[in-house]
């Protein structure tokens, strides 16, 4: 537990830096114009739909690294990190080409009738952001490998450095040079290229937490790639359909008007601050449970999963207690009209009502199951709950029942509850601890 808490603090600082900088960046975009923040909010689900692919590979790689670390097999730790980097970079390069070439047709298909000014900004933002996917994949692969190995201080340093560069670049391009939405995309590219270079230095450094060479990246290890794929494919399917559901929700949210789209974007950005500590706990869960499973200690894996669930719940309560006194100050950064601000507050209160009750069950606990190799079950549950509750019920609440964007957020909380209950029942059984993950 001492080691666990030693790894947790850097992860919390990492998530705080990521989310705080995201809040500041979104507030700068919002200050540019409502059209800009609407364009970013409409494009983000489409981008996340594609980047979910290499995010899933990174998560699979983190689990495999953690399990080999638990076994004490350092050579396979390095080989797993290298194979993960090769797979993620290849996927990201393909996604980048597809998004750049298909930006306008894709957005035109998704958002028929969208305001032309918003459409032009959205197309430019998607193309500019897509250029950063390949360098970011290198950073993501290295970050996931270090996290799986338990080197969370290295992760924290990488994250804070890259996000600080992004913030400074955003200030330069948005506030000083007034490049509007193009400045946001340019800031991402600058930060991620530097982040990729930094990652390569750290992961190839002799004497570092993980020291890989070209042979670990370029030598194809089918057993390790199959192990990564066994975890990555279900998680990729889950993330693709999850972000597809979010994208579908955006398409019917457009019918609610620009005010609802802008309020949803600001609310989502501010909400990042509420669950950043919980996300750190969820990330730590993969490392701890994965290493216990790799060592063959199932009882300890169950014990850590239970401890992380409790810690995630306490983290949610603490986040709310800290956020409430600061909420008005944080929202003022976005400079929204009063009507938008009132709606954003309502959305955040809805989320805060369910956060301590259901968020850890639906986000921390599935990471414990995935770390043990139970990825197929978590994917199936997540997809059913997403499409039945968050998308389906969200549509009914938002449009036919007239709750508007508030209905979408109510459905989100109910989806946490439904998903979390099923994961809790799964955790209480034995099936999740009987999965075979590693291949020799």
Q: Residue 142: pLDDT above 70?
A: yes
Predicted pLDDT of residue 422: 96
Helix, coil or strand: residue 68: helix
- Name the pTM for this structure: 0.76
Q: What is the predicted pLDDT for the residue at 237?
A: 79
Q: Mean per-residue pLDDT for 270-295?
A: 88
pLDDT score recorded for residue 30? 65
pLDDT band at 440 (very low <50, low <70, confident <90, very high): low
Question: Would you state the structure tokens that stand for residue 381, as one six-digit string?
Answer: 């549950």
Per DSSP, the three-state class of 270 is helix
pLDDT of 439 reads: 62
Contact 66, 148 (CB under 8 A): yes
List Cα–Cα distances, 263 to 139, 258, 268, in angstroms: 31, 8, 8
pLDDT value for 428: 93
Question: H-helix or E-strand containing 425?
Answer: helix 405-428
Query: To which residue do tokens 């889950």 refer?
Result: 238
- Higher pLDDT: 300 or 117? It is 300
pLDDT reported for residue 413? 95
pLDDT band at 339 (very low <50, low <70, confident <90, very high): confident
Give the DSSP H/E element, type plus range, for residue 204.
Answer: none
Cα–Cα distance between 401 and 341 in angstroms, integer?
Answer: 23
Question: What percentage of the chain carries pLDDT values higher than 70?
Answer: 96
Percent of the chain at pLDDT > 90 equals: 35
* Torsion, CA 143, CA 146, CA 150, CA 153, rounded to 10: -70
In this structure, the number of other CB atoms found within 10 A of the CB of residue 199 comes to 25
Determine contact, residues 29/37, Cβ cutoff 8 Å.
yes
- Cα–Cα dist 62/166, whole Å: 25
pLDDT at residue 146, rounded to an integer = 92
What's the whole-number mean pLDDT along residues 352-359? 94
Give the pLDDT band (50/70/90) at residue 39: confident
User: Among 51-55, 187-191, 385-389, which is the least confidently predicted range?
Assistant: 51-55
- The C-alpha atoms of residue 159 and residue 154 are separated, in whole angstroms, by 9
What would the pLDDT profile of 389-427 be if each residue is shown by its tens digit? Answer: 988 999 899 888 989 889 999 999 999 999 999 999 999
Whole-angstrom Cα distance, residue 225 to residue 241?
A: 23
CA atoms within 13 A on the CB side of 359: 27
Answer yes or no: is pLDDT of 5 > 80: no
Which of the residue ranges 20-24, 70-74, 236-240, 436-440 would you say has the lowest mean pLDDT?
Answer: 436-440
Instruction: Give the mean model confidence (pLDDT) for residues 436-440.
Output: 66
- Rounded to an integer, the average pLDDT of 89-100 is 89
DSSP string covering 298-313, please? HHHHHHHHHHHHHHHH
pLDDT digits (tens, 9 = 90+) for 217-274: 988 888 888 888 888 888 777 777 776 777 777 777 777 777 787 788 788 888 888 8
- How does 238-255 read in b/e, with b if 16+ C-beta sit within 10 Å? bbbbbbbbbbbbbeebbe
Q: Which backbone phi and psi does 159 adopt, to 5 degrees? A: -65, -50
pLDDT at 91: 86
DSSP assignment letter at 318 = H
- Angle (nearest 5°) at CA 58 between 430 and 207: 105
**Averaged confidence pLDDT in the chain:** 86
Contact 69, 148 (CB under 8 A): yes
Give 165-213 pLDDT, tens digit per residue.
988 998 899 888 888 888 888 999 999 999 999 999 999 999 888 999 9
| 110 or 183, higher pLDDT | 183
Q: Is the pLDDT at 373 greater than 80, yes or no?
A: yes
Q: Which long-range contacts (CB under 8 A, 24 or more apart) does 209-215 make?
A: 209/146, 209/149, 209/151, 209/154, 210/65, 210/77, 210/78, 210/81, 210/145, 210/146, 210/149, 210/151, 211/78, 212/78, 212/79, 212/81, 212/82, 212/85, 213/78, 213/82, 215/82
Which structure tokens are listed for 131? 């250029």
E strand spans, 328-438: none
Which of 38-52, 98-112, 240-254 reaches the highest mean pLDDT?
98-112
Pull the structure tokens for residue 70: 């638990």
Task: Give the per-residue pLDDT at 47.
Answer: 76
């Amino acid at each position: 537990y001492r080691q666990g808490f030693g790894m947790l603090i850097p992860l919390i600082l990492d998530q705080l830096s990521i989310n705080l900088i995201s809040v500041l960046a979104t507030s700068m975009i919002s200050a540019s114009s409502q059209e800009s923040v609407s364009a970013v909010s409409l494009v983000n689900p489409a981008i996340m739909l594609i980047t979910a692919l290499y995010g899933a590979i990174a998560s699979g790689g983190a689990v495999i690294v953690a399990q080999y670390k638990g076994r004490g097999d350092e050579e396979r730790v390095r080989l797993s990190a290298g194979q993960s980097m090769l797979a993620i970079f290849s996927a990201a390069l393909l996604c980048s080409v597809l998004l750049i070439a298909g930006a306008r047709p894709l957005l035109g298909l998704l958002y028929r009738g969208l305001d032309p000014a918003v459409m032009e900004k959205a197309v430019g933002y998607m193309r500019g952001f897509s250029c950063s996917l390949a360098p970011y994949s290198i950073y993501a692969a290295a970050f996931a490998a270090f996290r799986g190995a338990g080197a969370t201080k290295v992760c924290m340093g990488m994250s804070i450095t890259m996000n600080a560069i992004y913030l400074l670049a955003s200030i330069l391009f948005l506030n000083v040079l007034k490049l509007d939405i193009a400045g946001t995309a340019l800031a991402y590219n600058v930060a991620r290229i530097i982040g990729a270079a930094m990652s390569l230095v750290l992961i190839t450094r002799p004497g570092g937490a993980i020291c890989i060479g070209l042979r670990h990246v370029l030598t194809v290890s089918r057993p390790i790639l199959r192990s990564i794929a066994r975890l990555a494919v279900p998680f990729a399917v889950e993330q693709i359909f999850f972000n597809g559901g979010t994208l579908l929700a955006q398409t019917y949210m457009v019918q609610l008007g620009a005010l609802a789209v802008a309020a949803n974007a600001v609310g989502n950005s501010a909400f990042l601050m509420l669950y950043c500590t919980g996300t750190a706990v969820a990330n730590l869960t993969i490392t701890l449970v994965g290493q216990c499973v790799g060592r063959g200690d199932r009882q300890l894996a169950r014990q850590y999963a239970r401890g992380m669930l409790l810690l995630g719940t306490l983290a949610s309560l603490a986040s709310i207690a800290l956020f409430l006194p600061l909420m008005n100050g944080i929202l003022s950064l976005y400079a929204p009209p009063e009507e938008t601000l009132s709606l954003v507050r309502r959305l955040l209160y809805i989320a805060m009502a369910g956060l301590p009750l259901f968020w850890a069950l639906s986000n921390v606990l599935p990471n414990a199951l995935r770390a043990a190799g139970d990825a197929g079950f978590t994917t199936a549950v997540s997809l059913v709950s997403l499409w039945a509750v968050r998308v389906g019920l969200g549509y009914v609440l938002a449009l036919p029942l007239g709750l508007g964007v508030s209905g979408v957020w109510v459905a989100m909380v109910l989806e946490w509850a439904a998903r979390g209950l099923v994961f809790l029942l799964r955790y209480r059984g034995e099936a999740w601890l009987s999965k075979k993950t590693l291949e020799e």
